[in-house]
Amino acid sequence: MKYDIKDIKLAAKGALRIEWARQDMPVLRLIEKRFAKEKPLKGMRLAACLHVTTETANLVRALKAGGAQVYLCASNPLSTQDDVAAALVKNLKVPVFAIKGEDNKTYYKHIKATLAPEPNITMDDGADLVSVIHKEKKFFPLGGTEETTTGVIRLRAMQKKGVLKYPIIAVNDAETKHLFDNRYGTGQSTLDGLIRATNRLIAGLNVVICGYGWCGKGVSMRAAGLGAKVIVVEVDPLRALEANMDGYQVMTISNAAKIGDIFITLTGDIDVIRKEHFQVMKEGAIVANSGHFNVEIDISALEKLSRKKKRIREFVDEYTLRDGRKIYLLGEGRLINLAAAEGHPAQVMDMSFANQALSAEYIAKRYKGLKHEVYSVPEAIDKNIAGLKLKSMGIKIDTLTKEQKKYLGSWELGT
Amino acid sequence: MKYDIKDIKLAAKGALRIEWARQDMPVLRLIEKRFAKEKPLKGMRLAACLHVTTETANLVRALKAGGAQVYLCASNPLSTQDDVAAALVKNLKVPVFAIKGEDNKTYYKHIKATLAPEPNITMDDGADLVSVIHKEKKFFPLGGTEETTTGVIRLRAMQKKGVLKYPIIAVNDAETKHLFDNRYGTGQSTLDGLIRATNRLIAGLNVVICGYGWCGKGVSMRAAGLGAKVIVVEVDPLRALEANMDGYQVMTISNAAKIGDIFITLTGDIDVIRKEHFQVMKEGAIVANSGHFNVEIDISALEKLSRKKKRIREFVDEYTLRDGRKIYLLGEGRLINLAAAEGHPAQVMDMSFANQALSAEYIAKRYKGLKHEVYSVPEAIDKNIAGLKLKSMGIKIDTLTKEQKKYLGSWELGT
Amino acid sequence: MKYDIKDIKLAAKGALRIEWARQDMPVLRLIEKRFAKEKPLKGMRLAACLHVTTETANLVRALKAGGAQVYLCASNPLSTQDDVAAALVKNLKVPVFAIKGEDNKTYYKHIKATLAPEPNITMDDGADLVSVIHKEKKFFPLGGTEETTTGVIRLRAMQKKGVLKYPIIAVNDAETKHLFDNRYGTGQSTLDGLIRATNRLIAGLNVVICGYGWCGKGVSMRAAGLGAKVIVVEVDPLRALEANMDGYQVMTISNAAKIGDIFITLTGDIDVIRKEHFQVMKEGAIVANSGHFNVEIDISALEKLSRKKKRIREFVDEYTLRDGRKIYLLGEGRLINLAAAEGHPAQVMDMSFANQALSAEYIAKRYKGLKHEVYSVPEAIDKNIAGLKLKSMGIKIDTLTKEQKKYLGSWELGT
Amino acid sequence: MKYDIKDIKLAAKGALRIEWARQDMPVLRLIEKRFAKEKPLKGMRLAACLHVTTETANLVRALKAGGAQVYLCASNPLSTQDDVAAALVKNLKVPVFAIKGEDNKTYYKHIKATLAPEPNITMDDGADLVSVIHKEKKFFPLGGTEETTTGVIRLRAMQKKGVLKYPIIAVNDAETKHLFDNRYGTGQSTLDGLIRATNRLIAGLNVVICGYGWCGKGVSMRAAGLGAKVIVVEVDPLRALEANMDGYQVMTISNAAKIGDIFITLTGDIDVIRKEHFQVMKEGAIVANSGHFNVEIDISALEKLSRKKKRIREFVDEYTLRDGRKIYLLGEGRLINLAAAEGHPAQVMDMSFANQALSAEYIAKRYKGLKHEVYSVPEAIDKNIAGLKLKSMGIKIDTLTKEQKKYLGSWELGT
């Protein structure tokens, strides 16, 4: 079996951490159990390009239980947990191609190694597999899934241009995914990454959040929950209004740049923080990204403005500008929650990955009926996952009475 | 001119209050200005069944400026502000049929009076005009609009059954409506109504919120913001999960009934709180409704359980149960924010009613192309309103750079 | 019996409202019960200068049950609830001298009427009785109590200058008073008054809070809980730091004046908002006071800057400045929670007034041992009230085990 | 120079991290600058028993700048940052006796090594130096300082029993200490430690906080800010009431034990969570301590109930009880913010340690006038620190006008 990881000897530590995550993934455990019996993925070669974390390991385990042959590479050069990679190789016999901190070249080499077996199903987190497959045009899978907002935006652009060559299920569209993972997951883990990287007290600081989508909402909520004075930057008037009504200051990035103590980007777009913003930042400003790609901060502009760069702390690069001001870039502008912390907690990934597993099953069973389009996760899957999750938490809810159901379907009952 | 109101002498007070609201409705003011010039509603007879409040008066003013002949009745027997009705009649010469506290018979008589001129356009808040028109089948307008979630549910049920006879624009679907009015508007005004009715301290109480839709989210947020221990009751697993993740206790209404100090229903369904729940409530429990219709609390069950009923305070009925416990029902189970307070603040109604005005214009111009279906507000209208609102608040936001736009439309730029 | 009130015919309505408040005052009810048996205030003439509200009526009832002869006047010209005054006169035979909206002259006439019987005990809310007694020097009581921060500051100033002529118990110092009444009571009721007066949506507005003492903390907390962007103005560096760490913007009043939508003063000092601040306020700014006296806003400066004044809504005066800007003053600059709403909810007044009742008892029993000083409420009274309150809410807490008590008293047990 | 640390080669890494902390300690930097000029500690031998962190290193640096000879040991066996210890030894030539994870015997050996030079001043964090000095009775210093609530309780017990043999300044009493460090510092860092140790999603969990003092308030605030359903356990009725009014559920530990997902103790007392509580906990419950000593959780009871113990993750011990349930103990019951995270952020320690440095100076200058008592930090020091801190944050506040000062001191100005 081919694989490329940091150190196979880390397997024991990884295995324990995977077990720890497993305890907080009750929905995925139930799916794994059924998969083991029904083998719905039998005969499928599945290439997954995901953050190599303890939660992903549990997804891989479920997919294997379902009969799939799984190949795994990283969806981000900094997010791999090397001990998890080792445990997957050693204990689960999964070919993993991922090393924390790999350079760009190795990153793409690993993607290609994962695609070498010409998989039937791709599982993406940022659309890198889809992207490479469509550039190389060597083969096309039966179907694929996509985890992120960023990836789904890319895929819809492809569909619109008519270049998408196989069906994709947008796992991100599931409510049990984006309402939870993007909001509560990204919210907590971004602050977690920020604090681990810096050990700064958040209370009383001006924290500038660029982007008020589900992720930005989550991060704003948690930053405020830690006592920050949150400032939101947006381009969409509806979201900007919403941020204002939620009690946050809303302003342009040019104005925010002058007063922010910490900046976090989560927009899915490029160069959100760029030269003219670095030029007006306060001494000691901290800049981080929690969007999918490391393009949101224009790092090359920062490099050009600086006369000195020093790694003052793990994940913290001190840039000394020519005018003497110091600006701190975290995690090289990569997803701070994965670079400096451990990514989303298992409890939210449980639902996101339940969607992944069930979407893979859906492709395996229904690929013949699917067009080369981006599909949403079927609502039944979504509700089912929510119900299982509640149950696992011991929370009981009501069901409609017969009369209540009837009333909702009626229009004649009057005032 | 025919009309039926409480007392025309209240006009002066009403006029001042309408002016006060007007200052917080900048978007509607801009629309009124354009309408006055363009007269897009010329020749239209428009029947509006809305809460007769200062904000509605400003909408009526804009519609008249646009050339419409407007007839107005109340969408709820308790929500009419009699001084506003008087001012509309006296100063704006609008035929108004609405008296605060009118009985059910008068309520329907007023609806019919409003429909007598066989209007071309209906404007509903709870689908009562549509409902009566479809029962009587005397005429059908060119189109209509609907303000509420409850109404839209009814109308979609009608469309599904194939009985809807004219096109309706679901104003409630606009993001500038439901994200703001339902959440921030209902949130604040429900607590406002509750506090005016009771003068209770909210901090430290168990406040049970039935329904975690946009309205329920808003009320939960504000109750928590006042220090309540919020308990959410839901039937939808996704929303129940969301409520739990938002830090609220989630349980069945049967369990909540035992510990709640205050209950608020916002579900759009009937009998949410019923006999078996009253039977286990604590001494002194307070029960209120903020859903559209007064059907959410089973008041007749409460009556039957009681041996005495006393109005202890305006809007507060004390029911003494046969076992001696006292339960307090607010505002006779009608929308508490309108019964005991003044409904939504002008600032949110500004956006909701901007959607109403622009949707009426849309019908007047495009009715020929519309089917007998429920339509969403066109996105362009929605974004336009959001932009105007931000501008009126002096908030500036960014626009995408050329490169950023390009990036969002691309899929080849890589990691 | 002499008295001076608005209208005795309001007694029935007042009686019901007093009963309503009574239900939320379980601690005071228990005290009344004991007082009725023990008559600890027998022979005492007690002059009370308090806000004449439903809660005060329940305090008066307890004091009478304890054997005191009680005389009551208002501690603020705008805060009297005329129906309560009527019920006290008619049903409880208490001589009340208070009419809502009385002018300054009547206000002092009423104070003097209350002092005419030369009371043994005074009960103050803002030190007006003490103040008049010390000016007139006709007699001095055995002791008195004081409810407010503002009053205690005045009394300590008197003690410091050696002019205080009888002992005062600072009820405000009790933790069951200032931690609850000032924070949760003033917090909720100030926002309540503000919303009743204006019906403005608080979410998204810049709300400027002048003063970050217990009252200011409470109002900030509630304004933020309603979605405001809170700005705190302070003169004390410790409190300013605390406000910043709590996530609020902190700035000078000069800077806040330019961006505030709503201003609330709670400082206990004069001219917090004055000419130079009105001059830079935004069109439509709203100014209110929630501090004890109507001196915090320099109203005469506002009058001088204005060319027109109009009462646009009950409790809202529109000042049109010479440059055309409009500024709105609420409740004539008097305590907005009493002017436009109903003051503190019964639940917090239950504890404040339990302290009053027990402090009056303390004076009656111990006045011989007291010097002409300001005393704190004895800790035993404070803890006792807290325990009773918890019990009334059905909340059980732990007690220390024997080992835990021993450990806390030891210093040798080691790491 | 004698010292006992883990590895001198860690000095370079430690030095960078000390520099990083230094940037967030502006007040201490100003003090160091003055100390370097004035040398107020010249001739003093100062033994410090503190958490050996980057912030402590900056305090030590200031003390040395002031002329003191400083000896340092750890105030907790798990809290030492070995790289910081190395940097202090190598670069600042400070004799440090501290190794992360040292056993109890080594811990006390290190304390004694620090006391060997018979210091004039002791600086304690938990009163261990004072305790050993009073047991050994070999010598008594001129004075000492104490950082923690726990330590101050012990010292006041000693004073009360008349056994305290030298004066102590209770740094914890300073408002710039306990209002900030205990609340915002412990608040954030406890959650930080908890998340680093477990990577659990906090949102939606029942988090039980034992103790609602300043530390417990801070942790409750932050847990709620992360979406937890907070449950507070208290023995003091006043604090219990306050917790309830703050919107938290309040119950006994026996009831909380049944429903908690995570437990955190911050009481300063022993055996808060004990046998009968472990017996009813849910499968998977997580138990942590953030109080000063590792006595708050009865670990030996947990050991006795268990049939298996496994370190499943760094800082997480999995106890498998005889009935099969698993309970997780974090950081061996020691201060979780120091065991699993990095302790308080520099920004709060800046103020706490500014108090330490200025209190040491105060002792050096004034020890002759001090009795064998526990003293509060002089108010002037406290306000001075608050002012410097605000200034360093670029926050300007108002000062009282002449008229305002006069008004506050008066009592005759009337209503």
For B305-362, the pLDDT digits (tens) are 999 999 999 999 999 999 999 999 999 999 999 899 998 999 999 999 999 999 999 9
- What amino acid is encoded at C223 in this protein? A
**Contact across the interface for B245 and A155, Cβ inside 8 Å:** no
Decide: A145 and A122 in contact? Cβ < 8 Å. Answer: yes
Q: Which residues pair with D15 in a beta bridge?
A: none
Tokens read off for A308: 């000195």
**Ordered alpha helix ranges (H), D39-148:** 54-65, 82-92, 104-115, 128-136
**How does residue C409 score in pLDDT terms, banded at 50, 70 and 90?**
confident
pLDDT at C256 over 60: yes
> What does the alpha-carbon distance between residue B241 and residue A393 come to, in Å, rounded to a whole number?
10
Name the CATH architecture for the domain at A184-339.
Answer: 3-Layer(aba) Sandwich (3.40)
pLDDT at D414 over 80: no
The more confident residue out of A123 and B408 is: A123
**Contact across the interface for C245 and A227, Cβ inside 8 Å:** yes
Tell me which of C206, C229, C251 to substitute to probe the interface with A (most A C-beta atoms closer than 10 Å). C229
Minimum CA–CA partner of B185 in chain A: A245
Minimum CA–CA partner of B221 in chain A: A246
Q: Which of C221, D188, D346, D216 is nearest to A226 (CA)?
A: D188
What pLDDT, in 10s, does the model give residues B78-134? 889 999 999 999 999 999 999 999 999 999 999 999 999 999 999 999 999 999 999
pLDDT at D11 over 60: yes
Collect all residues of chain C within an 8 Å Cβ-Cβ radius of residue D179: 238, 242
Per-residue pLDDT, D353: 97
Cα–Cα–Cα angle for B170, B172, B175, nearest 5°? Answer: 115
> What does the alpha-carbon distance between residue A60 and residue A54 come to, in Å, rounded to a whole number?
10
Tell me which of C212, C222, C244 to substitute to probe the interface with A (most A C-beta atoms closer than 10 Å). C244
Q: What number of other Cβ atoms are within 10 A of residue B323's Cβ?
A: 9
pLDDT at D126 over 80: yes
Minimum CA–CA partner of A202 in chain D: D188
CA contacts within 13 A on the Cβ side of A407 = 19
What pLDDT, in 10s, does the model give residues A255-288? 999 999 999 999 999 999 999 999 999 999 999 9
Per-residue pLDDT, B183: 95
Tell me which of B231, B244, B261 to substitute to probe the interface with D (most D C-beta atoms closer than 10 Å). B244
Collect all residues of chain C within an 8 Å Cβ-Cβ radius of residue D398: 233-235, 252-253
Mean pLDDT of D148-166: 92
Decide: A373 and A167 in contact? Cβ < 8 Å. Answer: yes
Q: Nearest CA to CA, how far is D345 from chain A (Å)?
A: 5
A135 burial type by CB count under 10 A (0-12 exposed, 13-18 middle, 19+ buried) = exposed
Collect all residues of chain C within an 8 Å Cβ-Cβ radius of residue B20: 199, 312-313, 316
Collect all residues of chain C within an 8 Å Cβ-Cβ radius of residue D400: 235, 269
What pLDDT, in 10s, does the model give residues D223-237? 999 999 999 999 999
Collect all residues of chain C within an 8 Å Cβ-Cβ radius of residue D269: 400, 404, 407-408
Per-residue pLDDT, A415: 43
Per-residue pLDDT, A411: 63
A-C C-beta contacts closer than 8 Å: 31
Candidate from B19, B188, B312 with C-beta closest to C20: B312
Cα–Cα–Cα angle for C105, C107, C112, nearest 5°? Answer: 95
Collect all residues of chain B within an 8 Å Cβ-Cβ radius of residue C20: 198-199, 312-313, 316
Candidate from A16, A225, A345 with C-beta closest to D200: A345
Mean pLDDT of A114-122: 97
Computed over every residue of chain D, the mean pLDDT equals: 95
Collect all residues of chain A within an 8 Å Cβ-Cβ radius of residue D341: 199
Cα–Cα–Cα angle for A62, A65, A67, nearest 5°? Answer: 120
What ipTM was reported for this prediction?
0.92
A325-334: burial string, b at 16+ Cβ within 10 Å, e else: bbbbbbbbbb
Contacts of B3 (CB under 8 A, 6+ apart): B89, B95, B96, B97
Tokens read off for C363: 């004076």
What pLDDT, in 10s, does the model give residues A361-414? 999 999 999 999 999 999 999 999 999 999 999 999 999 999 999 988 776 554
Overall fold of domain C5-177+344-392: Rossmann fold (3.40.50)
Tokens read off for D210: 């034992």
**Contact across the interface for A226 and D225, Cβ inside 8 Å:** yes
Decide: C182 and C349 in contact? Cβ < 8 Å. Answer: no
**Contact across the interface for D229 and B246, Cβ inside 8 Å:** no
Tokens read off for B130: 């549509």
What pLDDT, in 10s, does the model give residues B285-305? 999 999 988 999 999 999 999
**Contact across the interface for C293 and D415, Cβ inside 8 Å:** yes
Per-residue pLDDT, B411: 63
Per-residue pLDDT, A78: 87
- CA dist D32 → C347, D26, D39, D63, D362 (Å): 51, 10, 10, 7, 15
**How does residue C293 score in pLDDT terms, banded at 50, 70 and 90?**
confident
pLDDT at A106 over 50: yes
What pLDDT, in 10s, does the model give residues C177-211? 998 999 999 999 999 999 999 999 999 999 999 99
B-D C-beta contacts closer than 8 Å: 32
Collect all residues of chain D within an 8 Å Cβ-Cβ radius of residue B227: 245-247
Using DSSP's 3-state secondary structure scheme, residue D206 falls into strand
Per-residue pLDDT, C36: 98
pLDDT at B413 over 60: no
Minimum CA–CA partner of A154 in chain B: B411
Collect all residues of chain B within an 8 Å Cβ-Cβ radius of residue A255: 396
Q: What percent of chain A has pLDDT over 90?
A: 94
Contacts of B42 (CB under 8 A, 6+ apart): B66, B67, B68
CA contacts within 13 A on the Cβ side of B132 = 22
Q: What number of other Cβ atoms are within 10 A of residue B135's Cβ?
A: 10
Minimum CA–CA partner of D204 in chain B: B245
Minimum CA–CA partner of B186 in chain C: C201
**Contact across the interface for D203 and B227, Cβ inside 8 Å:** no
Cα dihedral A252/A253/A255/A260 (nearest 10): 130
Minimum CA–CA partner of B349 in chain C: C201
Decide: C211 and C217 in contact? Cβ < 8 Å. Answer: no
**Ordered alpha helix ranges (H), A235-345:** 237-245, 253-259, 275-278, 299-305, 336-339
Collect all residues of chain A within an 8 Å Cβ-Cβ radius of residue D186: none
Tokens read off for D300: 């030996």
Candidate from B20, B201, B226 with C-beta closest to C185: B201
DSSP B92-126: H---EE--TT--HHHHHHHHHHHHTT--SEEEESS
Per-residue pLDDT, D54: 96
Decide: B309 and B283 in contact? Cβ < 8 Å. Answer: no
**Contact across the interface for C16 and B312, Cβ inside 8 Å:** yes
Q: Are strands C316-321 and C306-313 parallel, antiparallel or unpaired?
A: antiparallel
Mean pLDDT of D75-82: 92
Q: What is the DSSP letter of D203?
A: T
Q: Which of D42, D43, D60 is nearest to D51 (CA)?
A: D60
What pLDDT, in 10s, does the model give residues A196-246? 999 999 999 999 999 999 999 999 999 999 999 999 999 999 999 999 999
What pLDDT, in 10s, does the model give residues D85-120? 999 999 999 999 999 999 999 999 999 999 999 999
Q: Please tell me the total number of residues recorded for chain A in this structure.
A: 415
Q: Are strands B45-50 and B121-124 parallel, antiparallel or unpaired?
A: parallel
Per-residue pLDDT, D393: 92
Rg, Å, chain B Cα set: 22
Tokens read off for A21: 């995550």
Q: What number of other Cβ atoms are within 10 A of residue C396's Cβ?
A: 13
Tell me which of A245, A248, A249, A262 to substitute to probe the interface with C (most C C-beta atoms closer than 10 Å). A245
Every domain of chain B and the residues it spans = 5-177+344-392, 184-339
Per-residue pLDDT, B412: 59
**Subunits that touch chain D (at least 3 Cβ pairs < 8 angstroms)?**
A, B, C
Collect all residues of chain D within an 8 Å Cβ-Cβ radius of residue A226: 188, 222, 225-226
Q: Nearest CA to CA, how far is B338 from chain A (Å)?
A: 16
**Contact across the interface for C201 and B188, Cβ inside 8 Å:** yes
Q: Which of D93, D102, D101 is nearest to D68 (CA)?
A: D93
Decide: C119 and C166 in contact? Cβ < 8 Å. Answer: no
Per-residue pLDDT, C415: 43
Contacts of C324 (CB under 8 A, 6+ apart): none
Collect all residues of chain C within an 8 Å Cβ-Cβ radius of residue B224: 225
Minimum CA–CA partner of A402 in chain B: B270
Q: What percent of chain D has pLDDT over 90?
A: 94
Q: Which of D219, D203, D327, D299 is nearest to D266 (CA)?
A: D219
Using DSSP's 3-state secondary structure scheme, residue D168 falls into strand
What pLDDT, in 10s, does the model give residues D187-197? 999 999 999 99
B146-168: burial string, b at 16+ Cβ within 10 Å, e else: bbbbbbbbbbbbbbeeeebebbb
> What does the alpha-carbon distance between residue D104 and residue D51 come to, in Å, rounded to a whole number?
15
**Contact across the interface for A293 and B415, Cβ inside 8 Å:** yes
Tell me which of A180, A195, A199 to substitute to probe the interface with D (most D C-beta atoms closer than 10 Å). A199
What pLDDT, in 10s, does the model give residues D264-309? 999 999 999 999 999 999 999 999 999 988 999 999 999 999 999 9
Tokens read off for C77: 């010209």
Per-residue pLDDT, D292: 86
Collect all residues of chain B within an 8 Å Cβ-Cβ radius of residue A184: 245
Mean pLDDT of B203-216: 97
Mean pLDDT of B204-219: 97
What pLDDT, in 10s, does the model give residues B180-198? 999 999 999 999 999 999 9
Q: Are strands D96-97 and D168-170 parallel, antiparallel or unpaired?
A: unpaired
Backbone torsions φ then ψ of A185, nearest 5 degrees? -70, -60
Q: What is the DSSP letter of B178?
A: I
**Contact across the interface for D249 and B227, Cβ inside 8 Å:** no
Fold match flag (A5-177+344-392 vs A184-339): yes
Mean pLDDT of C103-128: 96
**Contact across the interface for C229 and A246, Cβ inside 8 Å:** no
Sign of the torsion angle spanned by Cα atoms B5, B6, B7, B10? negative
> What does the alpha-carbon distance between residue A55 and residue A32 come to, in Å, rounded to a whole number?
13
Candidate from B203, B316, B342 with C-beta closest to C199: B342
- What amino acid is encoded at D191 in this protein? L
**Subunits that touch chain C (at least 3 Cβ pairs < 8 angstroms)?**
A, B, D
A-B C-beta contacts closer than 8 Å: 172
Tokens read off for D263: 């437990």
Tell me which of B18, B27, B199 to substitute to probe the interface with C (most C C-beta atoms closer than 10 Å). B199
Per-residue pLDDT, A412: 59
